[in-house]
Structure 1
Amino acid sequence: MKSYGKLALGIIATWFIVVLSTSALHLFRTDANHAGVAYAVAALAPVALFSVWFAASEKFQELVFSLNPRTLTAVQSWRIFGFLFLLLAANQALPAIFAVPAAYGDVFIGLTAALVAWKLATPEHRTFYIFWQGLGLTDLIMTIILGSTAPLLSPGGPSMNVMTQLPLSLIPTFFTPLLLIFHVASIAQARQWQTQRQTQYREHLPASA
């Protein structure tokens, strides 16, 4: 399991180096009409790979289930910096149709993440925990959808080009998919809690005569 964990960490580190290098070399830049598509592909491809790996490998499932749910949840606190999207929109650097909902959604999740990690990341609060994780997951997905369709929804407004340049390019290429993966992993863990509780309940039932 330790070697498998090192492999996963190595993949994450390599992923970060690749997207950082790609952005530094301006390989992620594109014209205004395709910036939204690039945003969506960069954000969703790692999540798709994670889902395939999780479905195909029992060892990877064990690794995911062994992660600390409080840590996975507390990391979402960084999303409080989503308010920066509002500042960029105010300066015509991002389309408001993307920046406003993305900012408010991220700030809400960021402000509540610590409380959820401390109080709700337990089997006893499983339903509320999954609900909150679902909210965070939905917020990120909606952000990706709005980011990829902003050129169509607001053709006369600012483009998404700033999200394809450092340092903001690290958001769609690394941080958004990583936080999406953390939400998916947290929900998978919480679903496992129910299975474990049912198994423990059956083990404590008196044997039938």
Structure 2
Amino acid sequence: MAARIHLSGIGSEIKYVAPYPGHKTTSQKTKLMNAVAVVSGSLRAQYIFDFIDRHTDAAKSQTLRTTGGSPSSENQLSTIRLNPTPTKPGPQQRRYVNKPNIKGKTVLVVDDICTEGYSLEASRAFFEAAGAKVILLSWLKTPGRNDYRALCGTTPAIKKPFHKYIPTSVKEKIYSNSGNVINPNADTEIAEAYTKYINWDWPEGLA
């Protein structure tokens, strides 16, 4: 991933790197996000693991779908904020005394899996409200027929990105993912390949 970022040319723009938090306030950093810290170092960017604060538990999109609910931007917007005193990079784990000055700076937000983009778009809304430029990155995009939903506006506007926020309505622009799926069986094939991988029986002498 670091190589792709460097070759794309966006690496020179990035000043801060922020992973998107888990769905619970008690969620721990994933191993993938530990790798993001290494990528940040290669970019000479400040990796702030708790820049995005999950102040309230949010329902997982998959859980909402399987229980008859519907994922939404509001589910993310109303449960995160920017952390006014995040942890500085380094072994001493000191906290910022004042809010990091990100106005005009570029922040790279990294999430593990993107389905419809609600998490990434919520983070973009908060960072842009703080005056930052934002680049969104996910490790994987689900191969199903879920389109990407970009936020075009929120009501009320986010005026205090370091505080809790409750939207009353949002505007979205849909970017078709389903219309660009070349292999409609990709999700099934990936699931089958994963099942074969985890059940792999190594030949004798190679285990």
Short-chain TM bin: under 0.3
Q: Per residue, is there more helix in 1 or in 2?
A: 1
Q: Which has the larger radius of gyration?
A: 1
Q: Per residue, is there more strand in 1 or in 2?
A: 2
TM-score by length of 2: 0.26
